[in-house]
């Protein structure tokens, strides 16, 4: 899908916000992440795989610490 069309579908007049998301300087809010997933027909986990992997790594390090809180 062309970037300009995707930006318009997300309510943006230019593609600059998409660029910030692609570069990783900003993350989209949940609504925009879900819309991206829908329009690009890709799971959110795939679109943000590096972030997901980092979060999973962090949470698995908490498991097994013996703390229930």
Structural domain containing residue 49: 3-62
Q: Give this prediction's pTM.
A: 0.76
| Domain-embedded: residue 67 | no
- Is residue 69 included in any domain, yes or no? no
Report if residue 68 sits inside a domain.
no
Alpha-carbon distances of 66 from 3, 59, 63, 69, rounded to whole Å: 47, 13, 7, 9
pLDDT value of position 61:
78
Q: How many Cβ atoms from other residues are within 10 Å of residue 45's Cβ?
A: 12
Tell me, yes or no, whether 31 lies in a domain.
yes
Residue 52 lies in a domain: yes
| pLDDT per residue as tens, the chain (69 positions) | 999 999 999 999 999 999 999 998 999 999 999 999 999 999 999 999 999 999 999 988 777 655 555
The confidence score (pLDDT) of residue 65 equals 57
Q: Would residue 20 count as lying in a domain? A: yes
In a domain, 39, yes or no: yes
Indicate whether 26 belongs to any domain.
yes
Count of structural domains within the chain: 1
What pLDDT, on the 0 to 100 scale, is given for residue 63?
Answer: 72
């Amino acid at each position: 899908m062309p970037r300009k069309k995707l930006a318009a579908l997300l309510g943006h007049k230019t593609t600059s916000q998409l660029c910030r998301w692609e570069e990783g300087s900003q993350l989209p809010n949940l609504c925009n992440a879900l819309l991206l997933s829908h329009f690009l027909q890709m799971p959110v986990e795939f679109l943000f795989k590096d972030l997901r992997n980092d979060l999973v790594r962090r949470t698995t390090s908490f498991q097994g610490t013996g703390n229930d809180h």
